[in-house]
Structure 1
């Protein structure tokens, strides 16, 4: 069953009901192209549930003979309805697929991450009886959780459940939320946010009086957050900012709590410690464990991780290894277990056959006093195969000098890592996933 539903109580009820009767739920995300939608609906879908009349024509055009169900009518039970015990008995097969979450499709065909009913049953947020002190501390801050965007997000869904199972309330604004005013308007205590949205919140709080006093947890994840911006966020918003790291394949993996940052400001460049349900190692390219402090690929093992990629055994075999998941993120664990990320194994630029990771170059640029944000992309080059290009967002009033920035990178990482071009931009384009859109940045270089 494919769900094309918005952020409503009814949509949440349909999702839960589908799990109760044992459906394989495919969570359609916003922003799918017609080609992506056509590809998904061609993969053995029995029915499509929608609550958006505007999307119905597009769904009908791509669905062919697949039944379309509408939450506004066909799925609403006759009143009164009193469920019996048998109606609430979950009938999902523990080894069967419970939900398929779709990735952004930025590399072409959207990948579907399959999660079994057994893994759903082991979710870190879904078993209050097994919550550790860290989970209980987070849940206690979720009394009024801001629910927006999409329920098809694996991360949003697990944090929604954390709020509800902790006795909290999910608050759905009647219109698209305006940040940061939405916090005071609805007395929001907890919110998930991407890094670009956090930057907008900080700009607003810095420039004018904004009431954020209701906030108890602002969980920032999705893309790298510069250490100086995390420090600034803690200073402007108070002890509420949680820096988290996770993936669609795994859910949340680590979190840096405000108290940890306050006790040790040197942790601003980390994403915290693994959750108690997560086993984490750092390995070299041959799969051997590395000691604390050494940089390598982050591997994780957890009971609620995904089962594999939908109809993609080759990619599944590449990522799943003997019960472990290759995150394809680079990082290092210190002696206390704090994780510091340094980039994606595939976010690289190959110059003269030499691999350069974008993450370290971005961090060096962002550390310059004139620079607020930095992003690096690779562009085809006739002489070197690829060339490094950088985009920077300056601090207000700052006028960075491109040559000085290139020299800084050359000094820190070597001449070969210096960008051939540094472009100043006022804001970074954001993809539908909420992450910085590097494809759009590359397109800026091609624009006349």
Structure 2
């Protein structure tokens, strides 16, 4: 099995004249991207970086941003993928994960302050170096190759550490591992609409699909609506959250948007109702897939158009069947999974790792599930108190603790409710401290400063007291009823 990222390097050299990207009005050939990888690899090596060194990458979405990730992996570095929008405290926490260097598009005072004594390199500066004559992967299987971070909604993001062995076995990163359904999915990404962030594991999965099959990743004007970019750029493959899918379906019905070029639509991040899934298939054609997974374990199950065509009702009520490389068990109603491409553990956090992986390497998903007689996995609840907003998990407990730390608040409780725009929305209920009247804008600011703007509740409700369930615990089902 080829070490990561050799399959991607091979894809760049196999079709050197084909465009790898369309960016800022021009085509960027694969040969050009490969040469940029050679340049960045030499530049990073000249700055003393190599095997097992942590390289934090805080960049936008561009061919150079992709190339510098590949270059760091060629050297056997540990790529630390930094999500945009983190608070200064969260950024500082991430940079404390044994980071030896930070790579940015442009140095900003905020990043410089967070980096402190850690060397900071810009892509423009790295580009001035002479390219390496050859590219030879330097990693070893047990080295950690990537830290993908959880949302940070618990306060500090947890770094999910993936070894180079796991990356080589990854369901998407090596075409030798593609099952027939995955290969058919990959074939639809001839022209990928590349949005989001390259710090997202899921985005990198589908960018890999595109490049490994000779396709082109189209990076659109960020000011243009997502739906319009599909029509304008004749996109064949997209990755979208449930709310974004709903917006696309609305545009198709309302404006007659031309989506006839679409061959592969992957929906992920949160559950979608069976009726909406049927609507998507009816309006977009037999191109809709759904995936279920987690940052810690990557893809677990895949629902395909063939599934929806052969078994419409049971398939649409599920998240598909497990990937052949994934073992699954339901223990006391909770789903456990194990695969060769799951994380090795949380970086420098043995206690959390032991809780998640135990002694046998089976990962607790903390999702309640069962299998039907056809082998489709059905998610029936959560063993953890979370709200999924725009495909990002937010832990209710962390938001509740943050609100309760405000001097005006005695008690705080958070629930999630379905939302057409974001999949789910966060709703907060607070009981004031005696003699205090909370200012809702200040509460929102307090949450944003501690956990990031994405964790700020959609609504706040002030209560004199909180309904209590027969168990004696706060009745969150009753709180949900107050929203209607």
Look up the match of 1:69. 121
- When residues 272 and 40 of structure 1 are mapped into structure 2, their CA distance, relative to the original with a 3 A threshold, is same
Look up the match of 1:3. 57
CA displacement 1:306-343 (0-9 Å, x = unmatched): 01111221111011131211111111112322111122
* Higher RCO by CA contacts (8 Å cutoff, separation 6 or greater): 2
Aligned 8 A contact 1:230 1:268 in 2: yes
Look up the match of 1:406. none
What TM-score does the superposition give when structure 2 sets the normalisation length? Answer: 0.70
Q: Offset of 1:93 from its aligned partner?
A: 2.1
Q: Partners in 1 of 2:395 and 2:73 — Cα distance?
A: 42
* Stretch of structure 1 that moved more, 251-260 or 19-28: 251-260
Look up the match of 2:373. 335
Q: Offset of 1:344 from its aligned partner?
A: 2.0
Alignment partner of 1:165 is 2:176: no
Q: Partners in 2 of 1:150 and 1:376 — Cα distance?
A: 22
Aligned 8 A contact 2:153 2:395 in 1: no
Alignment partner of 1:200 is 2:217: no
Look up the match of 1:59. 111
Aligned 8 A contact 1:101 1:248 in 2: yes
5+ residue gaps, structure 2: 1-54, 389-393, 402-410, 422-447, 464-484
Alignment partner of 1:24 is 2:75: no
Q: Partners in 2 of 1:163 and 1:394 — Cα distance?
A: 29
Q: State which of 440, 444, 447 in structure 1 corresponds to 2:457.
A: 440
Q: Partners in 2 of 1:96 and 1:377 — Cα distance?
A: 34
Query: For 1:228-239, what aligned pairs fall within 5 Å after superposition?
Result: 228-239=275-286
Alignment partner of 1:317 is 2:354: yes
Q: Cα RMSD (Å) of the superposition?
A: 2.8
Alignment partner of 1:273 is 2:321: yes
Q: Partners in 2 of 1:100 and 1:388 — Cα distance?
A: 29
Q: Offset of 1:437 from its aligned partner?
A: 6.3
- When residues 215 and 313 of structure 1 are mapped into structure 2, their CA distance, relative to the original with a 3 A threshold, is same
SS of the residue 1:47 aligns to: strand
Q: State which of 336, 340, 345 in structure 2 corresponds to 1:303.
A: 340
CA displacement 1:69-128 (0-9 Å, x = unmatched): 0001234433xx4x44xx321111210110101111111111110000111111111221
What TM-score does the superposition give when structure 1 sets the normalisation length? Answer: 0.75
Aligned 8 A contact 1:99 1:115 in 2: yes
Q: State which of 254, 275, 282 in structure 1 corresponds to 2:301.
A: 254
Aligned 8 A contact 2:211 2:217 in 1: yes
Q: Partners in 1 of 2:136 and 2:373 — Cα distance?
A: 46
- When residues 223 and 65 of structure 1 are mapped into structure 2, their CA distance, relative to the original with a 3 A threshold, is same
Q: Partners in 2 of 1:438 and 1:342 — Cα distance?
A: 24
Aligned 8 A contact 1:125 1:131 in 2: yes
Look up the match of 2:24. none
Alignment partner of 1:35 is 2:89: yes
Aligned 8 A contact 2:80 2:146 in 1: yes
